[in-house]
A and B are shown apart, each in its own frame.
Chain A
Amino acid sequence: MSAGKSLWEMDELRIVIGAMVILGGATALLVVMPYLLLENVQPPAGLKPYTDEQLIGRQSYIANGCVYCHSQQPRDIGLAPDATRGWGRASVAGDYAYDTPHLLGTMRTGPDLLNIGARQPSKDWQLGHLYQPRAYTPGSIMPPYPFLFEVRQGAAKPGETIVNLPPSFAKPGQVVVAKPEALALVSYLLSLDRTYHALAPRFTAPVSSTAASKDKP
């Protein structure tokens, strides 16, 4: 291949073409195919879109990085006892119809939260837990979020939400007031409730019904 190298024999060309073909293949498989398959997934009947306040709370969930310790994807009982722990049934694609960006998560330093709203529906508990997790869960390693609250001597103003801490954590004469950001975050957490009955996702594409039922492990 010394004299008169053809274009095909150029290493540069092999690298560029090979690299692009391989990347294209992987992208088709892992990005484009899921896109085509999932774009027609319908939200299950029991799933409501987020309200404006819940979306603000979701933004706060993202900003404060809750996803780095909490997953939102209970697994099938055949794989892990997630359901036994009260985290809910295995989730399906339709459960995330309104979830962009996705918050599936990769860590369980804390428990799965896809159904935290059903598991712990008390607003007081959620607010107090965000203010000081160890007041409710001894041994928890979750950070407190004091910057979502305002601690003040004296009484709260009308219209403000006071955090009712357990007696041993409340300081006399001092009120802990939840800022709007905390209220929005709790509103989002309480909306996390996928306990409705969901079959596997229903696709409108023709290939779908069989694939959907088989996809459930």
Chain B
Amino acid sequence: MDFTVSVLLGTFLLSIAALFVFIWSMSKGLFGDGTAAATEIFAPNELGTVEDPAATARQKGDLQQAMGKPGEGAHKMTSSVAAARSRADQSTSLVVGVCLTLAVVWLVLASFAGLISSIKLHAPDWWVQYEWLTFGRLRPIHLNLVAYGWCSLAGIGVAIWLIPRLLMTELVGAKYALVGGALWSVGVFAGTVAIATGHSDGLEWLEYPWQIDILLVVGGALVGFPLWLTLLQRKVKHLYVSVWYIAAGLLWFPILFLIANWPGLHFGVQQATMNWWFAHNVLGLWFTPIGLAASYYFIPKVLGKPIHSYNLSLLGFWSLAFFYSQVGGHHLIGGPVPSWLVTISIVQSMMMVIPVFAVAVNQHMTVLGNFRALIYSPTLRFIVLGAMMYTAASVQGSLQALRGVNAVTHFTHYTVAHAHLGLYGFFTMVMFGSIYFIMPRVMNWEWPYPKLISLHFWLVLIGFLIYFIWLSIGGWLQGLAMLDEKTSFMQSVAMTLPYLEARSIGGGLMTLGHLVFAGHFFAMGWKFGPQRLGAALLSSSVFTRLQGKGAAA
């Protein structure tokens, strides 16, 4: 039989079989434990009580009021449960504080590398004397600092902080994660130097030389240790969906990175298919699971109400894992690769609407009717926005995989805008929100200047919208120009210039927002500002006070 047909038929039969296994396991309840797990993130009697350490006492009162009075007997959770949670939070504070601090440093450096790269595209004779400042080095430095510096370390920090919260116990083996995070950061630093000095491996997303990659593989595996050790001690009966995402993500990343960077294994066009298998999986099986784990925890936790449908969240998990892992080939549409591979990836890209809608329905239904909460909760503002961008980025990604659309967008700035919708609009926004929630618990100190949180939010939101909208338009027009044989190639370059300039303005605002964020972060680290331990500490007096305020107002 013809090879292409047999591969496609084989994949089809396999998918049908997988579907039946899926339905069968669902009917047997093998997916996980029904709806009871949705409330595992709440202490007994906690439902109905809002939580956002980033909120000022006033905001918190308003938030509680917006969500209605806390459930019957909510005050009973105060002393012993709050103390246990306090101990759980304290068990992660050192390692989480270190990871997040490093992440913020990388974020600032990454922003400047990105901004300078952006300006260089419309001012090509600016800063050209030094090799390490050339566009072709700064751009991969930007990407790697964002991906492995900021996003990964922020993700690791948030994931580790969530573990004791999700398993209702103290973190076990924090030292492994501390060593892992340190190795990882050394790897990011060494990798940046390697690219700057011209020692790149030459593959997008895989630029670090393999000697440095070892640090990320070992570091990545080590940060997973505390999860497995803590799972053995877990006090909860069911595993909440965030645990599923975090556990799978922590397993997936080291394996992906190891296979992708194995020296001497890959060659020619095969290396290209591997390249995009990796690059899409690092988004789909590393950043996305961590980002979703965080939003699945913080949205219900801030609002004090369980997620809309727990079963839907598990359906989302398994379908994300299955479909997302096979979409990489859509980066090679029209390329010199086997067409069955591209076709399978296009099909699975379209199938991605299943997990995306599972997440979208679930998270948006949870927020629905409580949009006023976004005004009062700084955490929620970032995370809900991020969750919306996740839906947008995913739907856009599915459409972009279609051959007709891809013919226009492939090789253009449109793809760059799309990548930022995913990794910035979704992931980075969720990380910002999570860090605002987490840091007061890590430092036992409130955010000193709450107005800076709003300033950060509006700067990055407006900056990002400028970035995304203009670059998408410019990229689309560029693609149409390149497809039109009567338009010269240089015209396709010239027409993008105004859009590239707009991108630099947007990127400049985003960078400014990051400086505000980083400044605020370090101001908190040095315990600036008035001591307002109220919202940061979950002491019983605070609860009583807040309830009083909620009731009185």
Contact = CB atoms under 8 A, between A and B. Distances in A.
Contacts of A27: 259, 277
Nearest to B131: A147
B504 to A, nearest CB: 13
B344 to A, nearest CB: 7
Nearest to A86: B489
Interface in B493-544: 493-494, 497
A64 B267 CA distance: 21
Contacts of A145: 128, 134
Interface residues of B, number: 95
A25 to B, nearest CB: 7
Given A79-B407, A144-B124, A67 B204 contact: yes
A68 B136 contact: yes
A56 to B, nearest CB: 12
Contact of B11 (A29, A60, A144): A29
Interface stretch (B80-88, B100-108, B319-327): B319-327
A65 B338 contact: no
A96 B239 CA distance: 48
Contacts of B345: 30
A191 interface: no
A38 B270 contact: yes
A97 B336 contact: no
Contacts of B79: none
Contacts of B199: 63
Q: Which among B3, B231, B318, B328 has the highest number of chain A CB atoms within 10 Å?
A: B3
A197 B136 CA distance: 32
Given A26-B325, A65-B140, A146-B128, A20 B251 contact: yes
Interface stretch (A9-17, A120-128, A155-163): A9-17
A35 interface: yes
Nearest to A62: B202
B268 A97 contact: yes
Contact of A23 (B128, B255, B484): B255
Interface residues of A, number: 84
Contacts of B267: 38-39, 100
Contact of B483 (A63, A80, A109, A137): A80
Q: Which among B231, B332, B407, B410 has the highest number of chain A CB atoms within 10 Å?
A: B410
A98 B269 CA distance: 10
Contacts of B244: 11, 15
B4 A15 contact: no
B122 interface: yes
A133 interface: yes
A96 B269 CA distance: 7
A14 to B, nearest CB: 7
Nearest to B234: A12
A111 interface: yes
Contacts of B131: 64, 147
A31 B277 contact: yes
B371 to A, nearest CB: 33
Interface in B345-377: 345
Interface string A88-104: 00111101111111111
A143 B3 contact: no
B331 interface: yes
Given A63-B199, A64-B137, 14 more contacts: A23-B325, A29-B344, A30-B329, A62-B200, A62-B202, A63-B198, A79-B403, A93-B269, A102-B271, A108-B411, A141-B497, A208-B3, A211-B4, A215-B338
User: Which 3 pairs, one residue from A and one from B, show the smallest C-beta to C-beta distance?
Assistant: A65-B136, A63-B198, A26-B325
22 contacts: A8-B30, A11-B33, A11-B239, A15-B248, A19-B252, A26-B326, A30-B328, A30-B341, A31-B270, A34-B273, A41-B269, A62-B201, A68-B135, A93-B337, A95-B336, A100-B271, A104-B332, A133-B124, A144-B124, A211-B2, A215-B339, A217-B339
